[in-house]
Amino acid sequence: MGRRHPGRSRRAPPRGSSVKPCKDCSAEWGGFPSPASQRRPAPHPGPRCATHWRVEQKRRKAAAHASTVQAKYGLDPGDYDRLYALQNGVCAICQRATGKTRRLSVDHDHETGLVRGLLCRPCNSMLGHGRDDPKFFGRAATYLIQPPARGLSNDQPPPQRAPEDE
- Give the nearest distance from C-beta 124 to Zn ion in angstroms: 8
Q: Which of 20, 21, 25, 75 forms a contact with Zn ion (CB under 5 A)? A: 25
Provide the 8-state DSSP code for 4: -
Nearer to Zn ion, 97 or 115 (CB): 97
From residue 50 to residue 89, the character string flagging contacts with Zn ion as x (rule: CB under 5 A) and all else as - is --x-------------------------------------
Nearer to Zn ion, 144 or 152 (CB): 144
- Give the nearest distance from C-beta 151 to Zn ion in angstroms: 32
Nearer to Zn ion, 70 or 87 (CB): 87
Q: Which of 21, 24, 69, 80 forms a contact with Zn ion (CB under 5 A)? A: 24
- Give the nearest distance from C-beta 37 to Zn ion in angstroms: 6
CA-based nearest residue to 75, from 107, 111, 121: 107
Cα Rg, the chain, nearest whole Å: 28
Residues 65 and 124: their CA atoms lie apart, in Å, by 18
Nearer to Zn ion, 93 or 115 (CB): 93
* CA distances in angstroms from 132 to 108, 119, 125, 140, listed in the order given: 10, 13, 10, 13
Q: Who's near 45: CB < 8 A, 6+ residues apart?
A: 53, 56
| 49 forms part of the interface with Zn ion (CB under 5 A) | yes
Provide the 8-state DSSP code for 101: S
Residue 58 buriedness (CB in 10 A; 0-12 / 13-18 / 19+): exposed
Contacting residues toward Zn ion, per CB under 5 A: 22, 24-25, 49, 52, 91, 93-94, 97, 120, 123
